[in-house]
Chain A
């Protein structure tokens, strides 16, 4: 082993993230030939900038501008009693009608699936999308609900108590996906 538990292990570099998002953008356009029906909705916090970048890449590929929004799921979470209220959540910003659209939810890390469950409920309260698909930059396993992603940047095996963080330049000043040691890391 010889690995310090608290050390940060990079699983995607900045260049990897760029390439991965480009590949995912291609997969999305292949699976959805009617690009004009697409809408990308990033889950706040870090899903939102990833969704914007993916939309730019889709535009570069197809020449079609895809509507992009950010979705906050705070009030739909199922862990309120455990984690307590969050008074500093960012607002949902979806400045278009999602009805009939193929909404692609974008998140940084897919883990238990509970955030995605909240996101689906939140989207449904805003309108009636034609379809919902899911894109995640990292899938770290340990699902607690029957949820899977349609587009995955990278599968990474993790243990439950490891912390997986995606850092994005818009928020964190750098692009990187890292694993930070166990529970006390």
Chain B
């Protein structure tokens, strides 16, 4: 009789930032920094995870995160398989549980899960018998995005300790904001969140962040300006009157950037809505590090896969 996989698995998961210590985050950034060099080589491959299998299980559309994990796994010589809900038996009514159990039966070493419902990666981690990495679950968490954001900040010569970060936009629905706040707080960052009152989480007061509804105020003194994507489907829920009104107040354009520090950097997790939360001038301008975030995403996901699939007991 086969043993239940649950009992056999003693490895680690990355479900949210709280699965990591500050030292591990620094270590991941250090390791990812080394993988940047590999990505610039002619032979962009290391043998490190040869024989390991990584499955990307995506129940929500994604270009960046899925491609990034796929390239990351391949650059470490792991075999990477992509399953998206649109082309799987999910369409035939298979449940999340059965999908995970069936994929898990093929013995992967890591499952990267993206799902619209918060907590699905946690649930998967209890039944999959392998490492589970949260690739974004609803409005809950997106830990690898926070890690690559921190790495990008360091690659731009800034130190994480006590850094001034402003997170601007739809904070309420943003897993990116949530994971970034959790991660930056581990380094005693001074965090400001900014957006319409209707797009602030009700518990924002307990997050230990400064709240403002004035974008100029948020931008001033920030070393890092982190824009969030406005999910246009939120408009239907009456959370803001129109995109035009939203962008009139909260779009990061060159007029607002005049108030920023000269050494500030502008980040965005993508996909960007040009002219809504960020103007093209700023997105493509000298402050923007948006494409560096994407490049660093590959290196950071290599580091995460290395940490989780790289064997065993600490």
- Which residues of A line the B interface, CB within 8 A? 72, 75-76, 80-85, 87-89, 91-92, 121, 125-126
- Check B311 against A76 for contact (C-beta < 8 Å): no
- Check B47 against A87 for contact (C-beta < 8 Å): no
- Check B45 against A87 for contact (C-beta < 8 Å): no
- Check B310 against A88 for contact (C-beta < 8 Å): no
- Which residues of B line the A interface, CB within 8 A? 24, 27-28, 30-31, 33-34, 37, 41, 43, 45-48, 76, 303, 306-307, 310-314
- Check A88 against B30 for contact (C-beta < 8 Å): yes
Chain A residues contacting B31 (CB-CB under 8 Å) are 85, 87, 89
- Check A82 against B311 for contact (C-beta < 8 Å): yes
- Check B307 against A75 for contact (C-beta < 8 Å): no
- Check B47 against A88 for contact (C-beta < 8 Å): no
Closest B residue to A85 by beta carbon equals B310
- Check A85 against B33 for contact (C-beta < 8 Å): no
> How close is A36's CB to chain B, nearest CB, in angstroms?
25
A12-B202 Cα distance, complex, nearest whole Å: 68
Closest A residue to B43 by beta carbon equals A125
- Check B311 against A84 for contact (C-beta < 8 Å): yes
- Check B34 against A89 for contact (C-beta < 8 Å): yes
Closest A residue to B51 by beta carbon equals A81
Known: A80-B310, A81-B311, A92-B37. A75 touches B30 (CB 8 A): no
Closest A residue to B31 by beta carbon equals A87
- Select which of B27, B48, B312, B313 is within 8 A of A87 by beta carbon: B27
Closest B residue to A83 by beta carbon equals B311
Known: A80-B310, A125-B41. A91 touches B33 (CB 8 A): yes
Contacts across chains A and B counted by CB atoms under 8 Å: 52
- Select which of B28, B43, B48 is within 8 A of A75 by beta carbon: B48
In order of increasing CB-CB distance, the 10 nearest A-B pairs are A87-B27, A85-B310, A81-B311, A75-B48, A75-B46, A125-B43, A87-B31, A80-B310, A85-B307, A84-B311
Chain A residues contacting B47 (CB-CB under 8 Å) are 75-76, 121
Known: A76-B47, A121-B47. A91 touches B37 (CB 8 A): yes
- Check A91 against B41 for contact (C-beta < 8 Å): no
17 contacts between A and B (CB under 8 A): A72-B34, A75-B48, A80-B48, A80-B310, A84-B311, A84-B313, A84-B314, A85-B31, A85-B306, A87-B27, A87-B31, A88-B27, A89-B34, A91-B33, A92-B37, A125-B43, A126-B41
- Check B307 against A87 for contact (C-beta < 8 Å): yes
A91-B310 Cα distance, complex, nearest whole Å: 19
Chain A residues contacting B303 (CB-CB under 8 Å) are 87
Closest B residue to A126 by beta carbon equals B41
A89-B37 Cα distance, complex, nearest whole Å: 14
Chain B residues contacting A80 (CB-CB under 8 Å) are 48, 310-311
> How close is B52's CB to chain A, nearest CB, in angstroms?
10
A81-B10 Cα distance, complex, nearest whole Å: 13
Chain A residues contacting B34 (CB-CB under 8 Å) are 72, 75, 89, 91-92
Chain A residues contacting B313 (CB-CB under 8 Å) are 84
A89-B46 Cα distance, complex, nearest whole Å: 15
Closest A residue to B25 by beta carbon equals A87
Chain B residues contacting A75 (CB-CB under 8 Å) are 34, 46-48, 76, 306
Chain A residues contacting B28 (CB-CB under 8 Å) are 87
A3-B84 Cα distance, complex, nearest whole Å: 65
Q: 16 more A-B contacts (CB under 8 A) besides A75-B306, A88-B27, A92-B37?
A: A75-B48, A75-B76, A81-B312, A83-B311, A84-B313, A85-B31, A85-B310, A85-B311, A87-B24, A87-B27, A87-B31, A87-B303, A89-B31, A92-B34, A121-B47, A125-B43
